[in-house]
Each structure stands twice: as C-alpha cells, then as structure tokens.
C-alpha cells in the first residue's frame, strides 16, 4: 500500500519545468512582499507565509482538472496563487481593501474563490478537513468525476475531526485526497513532540485508506504522487493520503520568534533542498534554459508582484456599509453545477 518515491530519472519536459519554476517563484516573491507589507503595517493580524513549501501546491495543482476543488488552512496564499487566483486580489485582501477576494472582510486567513473552486482559507486548525470531505461528498452525489484536495498540517493531523472524517470518507468512498503538509512544526511544536508515531501517512490504515510519503521539496515527486492519488480517486476507489514532507523557512506567523529550531537547520534546508533552486538547477544543467532566460522570468514576476502590491495599496478601504452586508443571503449564492 505504501510506495516510496522512485529514484528513476524524472520524466518532465522543459516546458513543464519552466512552468513549475515560474509558479513557485511567483509564490515566493508574493510571500516576501507580503512579509514586507506586514512590517510596514499595511497588513495586520496573523499572516502565515508559505515560503519553502511552494513545491507542494505547484506540483499538485499541475495534475488537477477544471472543476476539481481545493481547501486548506490559514497558510493559504500559495494555494490561491497556484490555482490561478489573481495576485492582485489576494494581496488586496491581505491589506483589507475593497479589491480583495473577500472585499477586505476576510483577510489573510479567510479567502475564497468560487470561480477557482477554492473553498478557503480556514482559521481553525483541522476544521477544513471534514469540509473537504463534504465537498467530495457533493461531487460523488452529483457523479461529476471531480476530486477535492484537502490540505492540512502536521499539527492539524492530531485533531479528532480528522479521524472522524477519515472514517466517513472511507466508508462512503469519497473522492478526496488528504494532503498532509508536514512542515515538521506546528507553531513551536516539532512533530515528534506532538505525535505518537513518526509517520502520518499510515494513519489512514486503520480506516483502509492508502497513503504514501512524498518529498515535498521536489516538485516533480509531488506531481507524480498527486497524479497517482487523483487517479485513485477518479477511479472511484475512495480517499487517498499524501504525507508531503516540506519545510517552512519563516516563523509560524509574522510574530513568531522561532526559537524552537536553530538557524542552521533552516539554513541547511534552504541551501540543500530549496524547491525553487532544485528546478532552477534542473533547467540549467539540462540546458533547458539559460541564466538569461531565468533572469527574464524573475524580472517578469517581480513586476507582477510589484503591481499586486500597488493594487493592494491603492485599492480603497471597503465602504462602511460593507460592515452590514453578507450576513444573510436573499438567495443561495449562485449554485455550482460543475
């Protein structure tokens, strides 16, 4: 039931690698900019950066099809960018402006896009897991062949509702991929201090859910594991677990001094395992791209991010009337038939 990542030479085209590079870099630069705007007081509250984890969402999004769904926690900026939501709209939500995806009312942790089938952005650890299974329930009910990616952290994987969900997802054979983004820390708690057994992907075994461990710093490995998982779900075989081993470079949120790990540990990850550097060197050593080509991509992304930051600063604050809107609906928001 468990497969380890293969050591075969990855089967990936130059074009695909370039796309991975571009998409991961977009997330990295976006997050760096968000950190900067937070420091300037333009973003407030909690802001959880995704730097270091880019390969997870970029790899998995590359195997999805139109209509597939995704849901995650508060560490959500990367997921939104990877599923095609606009950097302008996401950044403007971070600054709490009218042009944000939730008109400034949700903030960093609570953003949604019906158009991109992104179901949030959830601030309560673990709460998105049953909801993700519920999305899959709806898809199975409608027999539309869609799959839901339900992302959660190593810390969240200890919440009771995760196991209640595993049971139902297996019982009802729901088309849901549970993606455990194991970045090895839940706030200041290293995984081994909170978890009785080292592996999280085996936790579905008691419910009959297959799982595997994935190198989350390698976007190609993530893509391959994702393809296998999604095929399993689409074939009607029920849920699948991917425990993706990854790492966050920054503190848990902006206010975390991160004294629970050494700088050397972070530095080592950055230097030896960085997902973007890995793709960069694959592109260069495979002669798929020149330094110049990559510089051009860097430049292009910088300008996208600068434009997003400008948009997020210039977009007006929501009008005070917005305080009182969207509390009750007059009709069900345009219902989705995918």
Partner 1 sequence: MATEILMPALSPTMEEGTLAKWLVKEGDTVSSGDLLAEIETDKATMEFEAVDDGTIGKLLVDAGTQNVKVNTPIALLLAEGESAETLPQAPEPAQAGDADAKAVPAGDPAKSAPPSSKPAPPSPKSAPPSPKSAPVPDWPEGTMLRQQTVREALRDAMAEEMRADDSVFLMGEEVAEYQGAYKISQGLLDEFGSKRVIDTPITEHGFAGVAVGAAFGGLRPIVEFMTFNFAMQAIDQIINSAAKTLYMSGGQMGAPMVFRGPNGAAARVAAQHSQDYAAWYMQIPGLKVAMPYSASDAKGLLKSAIRDPNPVIFLENEILYGRSFDVPELDDFTVPFGKARIWQQGDDVTIVSFGIGMKYALEAAEKLAGDGISAEVIDLRTLRPMDTATIVDSVMKTNRCVTVEEGWPQGSVGNYISSVLMQEAFDYLDAPVINCTGKDVPMPYAANLEKHALVTTDEVIAAVKQVTYR
What residues make contact with partner 1 under the rule CB under 8 A?
A: 32, 35-42, 44-46, 93, 95-97, 102, 104-110, 122-126, 155-156, 158-160, 186-189, 193-195, 254-255, 257, 260, 270, 313-314, 316-318, 320, 322-324, 327
Can you list the positions of beta strands (E) in 31-170?
Answer: 69-71, 148-153
- Using CB under 5 A as the binding rule, whether residue 183 contacts Mg ion is answered as yes
Shortest distance (Å) from residue 270 CB to ligand TPP:
17
Contact 90, 109 (CB under 8 A): no
125 lies in the site for ligand TPP, by CB under 6 A = yes
Query: Apex CA 255: angle with CA 122 and CA 73, to 5°?
Result: 15
The site map against Mg ion for 149-168 (x = CB under 5 A) is ----xx--------------
Rounded Cα–Cα distance for residues 132 and 286 (Å):
39
Residue span binding ligand TPP (CB under 6 A) among the ranges 87-95, 122-130, 209-217, 291-299: 122-130
Nearer to ligand TPP, 110 or 232 (CB): 110
Crossing angle (nearest 10°) for helices 14-39 and 54-61? 140
Nearer to Mg ion, 128 or 183 (CB): 183
Name the pairing type of β-strands 185-186 and 189-190.
antiparallel
Q: Any contact of residue 210 with Mg ion (CB under 5 A)? A: no
Among the listed ranges 149-157, 198-206, 214-222, 321-329, the one in contact with ligand TPP (CB under 6 A) is: 149-157
Total residues contacting Mg ion by CB under 5 A comes to: 4
Q: What angle do CA 108, 83, 207 make, to 5 degrees?
A: 90
CB of 176 to ligand TPP, least distance (A): 18
Query: How far apart are alpha carbons 1 and 324 in whole angstroms?
Result: 51
Which residues have a Cβ under 8 Å from the Cβ of 158 and sit 6 or more positions away? Answer: 194, 195
Rounded Cα–Cα distance for residues 119 and 111 (Å): 8
What is the binding site for ligand TPP (CB under 6 A)?
Answer: 73, 75, 123-125, 153-156, 183, 185-187, 252
């Amino acid at each position: 039931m468990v497969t380890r990542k293969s050591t075969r030479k990855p089967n990936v085209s130059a074009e695909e690698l370039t796309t991975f590079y571009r998409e991961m870099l977009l997330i990295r630069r976006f997050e760096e900019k968000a950190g900067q705007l937070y420091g300037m007081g333009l973003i407030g509250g909690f802001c959880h950066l995704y730097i270091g984890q880019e390969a997870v969402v970029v790899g998995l999004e590359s195997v999805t099809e139109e209509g597939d769904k995704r849901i995650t926690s508060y560490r959500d900026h990367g997921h939104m960018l990877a599923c095609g939501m606009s950097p302008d709209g996401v950044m403007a939500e971070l600054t709490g402006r009218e042009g944000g995806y939730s008109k400034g009312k949700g903030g960093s942790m609570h953003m949604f896009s019906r158009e991109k089938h992104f179901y949030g952005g959830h601030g309560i650890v673990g709460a998105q897991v049953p909801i993700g299974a519920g999305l899959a329930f709806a898809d199975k009910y409608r027999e539309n062949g869609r799959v839901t990616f339900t992302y959660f952290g190593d810390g969240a994987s200890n919440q009771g509702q995760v196991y209640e969900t595993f049971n139902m997802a297996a019982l009802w054979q729901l088309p849901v991929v549970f993606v455990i983004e194991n970045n090895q820390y839940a706030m200041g708690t290293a995984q081994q201090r909170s978890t009785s057994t080292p592996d999280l992907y085996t936790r579905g075994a008691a419910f009959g859910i297959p799982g595997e461990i994935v190198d989350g710093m390698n976007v190609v490995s993530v893509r391959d594991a994702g393809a296998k998982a999604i095929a399993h779900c689409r074939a009607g075989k029920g849920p699948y677990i991917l425990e993706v081993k990854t790492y966050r470079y920054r503190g848990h949120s902006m206010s975390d001094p991160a004294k629970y790990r050494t700088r050397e540990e972070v530095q080592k990850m950055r230097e030896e395992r960085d997902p973007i550097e890995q793709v960069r060197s694959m592109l260069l050593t495979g002669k798929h791209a020149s330094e110049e080509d990559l510089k051009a991509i860097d430049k292009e992304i910088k300008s996208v991010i600068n434009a997003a930051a400008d948009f997020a600063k210039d977009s007006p604050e929501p009008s005070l009337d917005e305080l009182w809107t969207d509390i009750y609906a007059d009709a069900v928001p345009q219902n989705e038939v995918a």
